[in-house]
């Protein structure tokens, strides 16, 4: 009499198969993108730089000290803008989420702030404050704050009111409530707000640098454009994207693991 | 003929540790949730508040804990008026919510310790209290577990441990076993009755289950359909430890069912005179 073979159920095998499928899909997507790029190079008659030209420009930029100095200038500007926008946005967002009067006062301002194109902030700041470095940074902070506020207000609004009551009954106090109850509930929203702020800061800083500054990656990309060196424009952007992704992996991912580890 | 229910001995003689008088609560300013509700409990008493779903039982506990500001009436616990945030010398209140309300990002032990820290319990004592109450509720092996990994019954045990570890003068319990399966709920009722007998805590236990109220409490306040008024106050003259299947509880249950049938059903609540009016 034959006995039925044991059936392998889910577990490690299924997980590793899913992971392998994800890696395969990612490789296919990359190859497809590179193939499309190469076709675009051929079709554009050389205006879209070929992959090998970009690779050579990348290696050249990678070994140029001036490029690293410019990366540091842009990175410092991003940090200043991101930090200011996150601190102001989170404070205002929490206040609006907890207090109806504050929310009623600031909501129309935030709605208008979200609707104004970022370029308008930059141009107005240049007209009012001149082409100093600070004018661009102030414009960017003003442009970013409404985005951060919007995300934080939604996070605070979606909190579990039952935990508010628990905190009140057990007299946890304001500090414990903000850190241990509210803070942990809105942590996913805060992380999303910080990531949004970081990503937008990079995109807008490059624009400000191209328009007003002699130094920074944005200024170098614009300089390469004026010299008709698209391969260097792309390689500079790639280099800075790698720096930003590394920052995200070093700062945001461990922070996320620490704050949201209990969900796993 | 109306069945004879045991007559309450009268709270006045016992010394009122909890005193709720003329309590009136409305959420929107027009519809009343509680209408002139009175309740008293002496120190170490186990009082059940019995009423149909949605009648305002939880509102009563909210007001008693200071979370909710009533429109009228007075609440005193241990001689301190309950008004929003009470003074630091006010008696501690433990609260067992219907839905446990544990912090999901804190372990079982941390959920208890945060409350003890806030209450100013010395650091050296916090760990021993956590160990003691987790053991008492037979969940000491879950000390470092995340709440989301626990069953409903285990979470509710943690919630009870959190309330009791505070060693409060008063524990307010809002239908804590209503979401559990019947077997777990019976075990927990038994356990709660034993824990109460070992402590000197005053418990106000809200429920819509007549048998649960009769099994646990010394005195049962039967409320009308919302807006809640006290319809009946019943003393339970049955010695402890009690058995859930005790035929005397069945008799009392039958009498109360007869009394509340028209009031909790679709009849007008006003058709039944309140406890206050009968007096």
pLDDT means per 10 residues, chain B with 279 residues, are 48 70 87 90 95 90 90 90 67 91 95 95 94 91 94 92 92 91 89 88 95 96 89 92 93 91 66 60
- What end-to-end distance do the CA atoms of chain B give, in Å? 19
Closest-CA residue to A171 (of B277, B157, B115): B115
Give which of A159, A168, A169 to mutate to test B binding, by max B Cβ within 10 Å. Answer: A169
The nearest CA of chain B is from the CA of A169 a distance in Å of 6
User: What is the pLDDT at residue B5?
Assistant: 56
- Angle B198-B204-B209 (CA atoms, 0-180°, nearest 5)? 105
Contacts of A184 in chain B (CB under 8 A): 103, 105
Single pTM value for the model: 0.78
Q: Using the beta-carbon criterion (under 8 Å), do B105 and A184 form an inter-chain contact?
A: yes
Find the chain B residues whose C-beta atoms sit closer than 8 A to any C-beta of A: 62, 65-67, 85, 93, 95, 97, 99, 101, 103-106, 114-115, 117-119, 146, 148, 166
| Beta-carbon-side half-sphere exposure of residue A74 (alpha carbons within 13 Å) | 33
Rounded to whole angstroms, how far apart are CA atoms A232 and A224? 6
Of B67, B103, B119, the CB nearest to A165: B67
User: What is the pLDDT at residue B87?
Assistant: 56
Of B101, B104, B117, the CB nearest to A166: B101
Q: Using the beta-carbon criterion (under 8 Å), do B97 and A181 form an inter-chain contact?
A: no
A184 vs B: CB within 8 A: yes
User: What is the pLDDT at residue B12?
Assistant: 42
* Ramachandran bin of A167, using left for φ above 0, alpha for ψ from -120 to 50, beta for the remaining angles: alpha
Token duo for residue B56:
């305002």
Please state at what angle helix A161-169 crosses helix B57-65, rounded to 10 degrees.
Answer: 50
Rounded to whole angstroms, how far apart are CA atoms A50 and B4? 97
User: What is the pLDDT at residue A129?
Assistant: 87
What residue ranges in chain B does DSSP mark as E strands? 16-26, 32-42, 46-50, 72-77, 80-81, 93-96, 170-174, 202-207, 219-223, 230-235
Does residue B22 contact residue B35 with C-beta atoms inside 8 Å? no
- Collapsing DSSP to helix, strand or coil, B94 comes out as strand
Contacts of B118 in chain A (CB under 8 A): 170-173, 176
Closest-CA residue to A137 (of A194, A208, A211, A217): A208
Mean pLDDT for chain A overall: 89
Please state at what angle helix A133-157 crosses helix A100-115, rounded to 10 degrees.
Answer: 130
DSSP state of A232: H
Which single residue is written with the structure tokens 């501690």? B92
CB neighbours (10 Å) of residue B217? 25
pLDDT range class, residue A131, cuts 50, 70, 90: confident
Q: What is the mean pLDDT of residues A192-217?
A: 88
Which single residue is written with the structure tokens 């008088």? B21
Rounded to whole angstroms, how far apart are CA atoms A155 and A196? 14
Q: What is the mean pLDDT of residues A130-159?
A: 91
Residues contacting residue A179 through CB under 8 Å, at least 6 positions apart = none
Contacts of B145 in chain A (CB under 8 A): none
Closest-CA residue to B204 (of B92, B44, B49): B49
The nearest CA of chain B is from the CA of A261 a distance in Å of 8
């Amino acid at each position: 009499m034959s006995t039925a073979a044991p059936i392998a159920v889910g577990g490690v095998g299924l997980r590793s198969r899913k992971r392998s499928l994800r890696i395969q899909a990612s490789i296919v997507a990359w190859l497809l993108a590179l193939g499309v790029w190469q076709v675009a190079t051929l079709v554009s008659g050389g205006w879209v730089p070929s992959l090998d030209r970009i690779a050579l420009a990348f290696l050249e930029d990678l070994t140029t000290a001036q490029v690293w100095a410019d990366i540091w200038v842009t990175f410092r500007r991003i940090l200043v803008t991101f930090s200011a926008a996150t601190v102001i946005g989170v404070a205002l967002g929490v206040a609006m989420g907890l207090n109806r009067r504050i929310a009623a006062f600031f909501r129309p301002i935030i709605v208008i702030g979200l609707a104004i194109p970022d370029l308008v902030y930059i141009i107005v700041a240049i007209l009012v404050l001149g082409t100093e470095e600070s004018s661009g940074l102030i414009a960017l902070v003003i442009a970013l704050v409404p985005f951060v506020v919007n995300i934080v207000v939604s996070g605070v609004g979606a909190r579990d009111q039952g935990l508010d009551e628990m905190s009140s009954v057990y007299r946890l106090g304001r500090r414990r409530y903000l850190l241990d109850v509210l803070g942990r509930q809105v942590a996913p929203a805060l992380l999303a707000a910080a990531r949004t702020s970081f990503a937008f800061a990079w995109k807008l800083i490059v624009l400000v640098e191209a328009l007003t500054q002699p130094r920074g990656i944005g200024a170098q990309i614009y300089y390469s454009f004026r010299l008709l060196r698209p391969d260097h424009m792309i390689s500079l952007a790639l280099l800075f994207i790698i720096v930003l992704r590394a920052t995200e992996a070093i700062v945001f991912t461990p922070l996320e693991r620490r704050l949201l580890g209990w969900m796993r | 003929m109306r069945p004879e229910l045991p007559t309450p001995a009268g709270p006045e003689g016992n010394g009122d540790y909890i005193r709720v008088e003329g309590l009136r609560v409305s959420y929107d300013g027009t519809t009343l949730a509680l209408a002139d509700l009175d309740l008293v409990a002496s120190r170490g008493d186990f009082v059940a508040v019995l009423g149909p779903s949605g009648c305002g039982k939880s509102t009563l506990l909210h007001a008693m804990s200071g979370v909710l500001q009533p429109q009228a009436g007075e609440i005193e616990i241990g001689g301190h008026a309950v008004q929003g945030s009470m003074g630091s010398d006010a008696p501690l209140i433990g609260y067992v919510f219907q839905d446990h309300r544990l912090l999901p990002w804190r372990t079982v032990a941390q959920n208890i310790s945060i409350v003890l820290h806030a209450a100013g319990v010395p650091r050296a004592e916090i760990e021993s209290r956590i160990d003691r109450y987790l053991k008492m509720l037979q969940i000491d092996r879950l000390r470092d577990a995340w709440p989301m990994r626990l069953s409903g019954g285990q979470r509710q045990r943690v919630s009870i441990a959190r309330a009791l570890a505070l060693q409060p003068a008063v524990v307010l319990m809002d239908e804590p076993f209503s979401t559990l399966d019947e077997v777990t709920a019976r075990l927990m009722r038994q356990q709660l009755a034993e824990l109460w007998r070992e402590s000197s805590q005053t418990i106000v236990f809200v429920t819509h289950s007549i048998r649960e109220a009769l099994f646990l409490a010394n005195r049962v306040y039967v409320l009308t359909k919302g807006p809640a008024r006290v319809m009946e106050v019943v003393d339970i003259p049955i010695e402890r430890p009690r058995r859930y299947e005790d035929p005397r509880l069945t008799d009392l249950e039958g009498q109360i069912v007869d009394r509340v049938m028209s009031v909790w059903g679709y009849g007008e609540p006003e058709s039944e005179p309140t406890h206050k009016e009968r007096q």
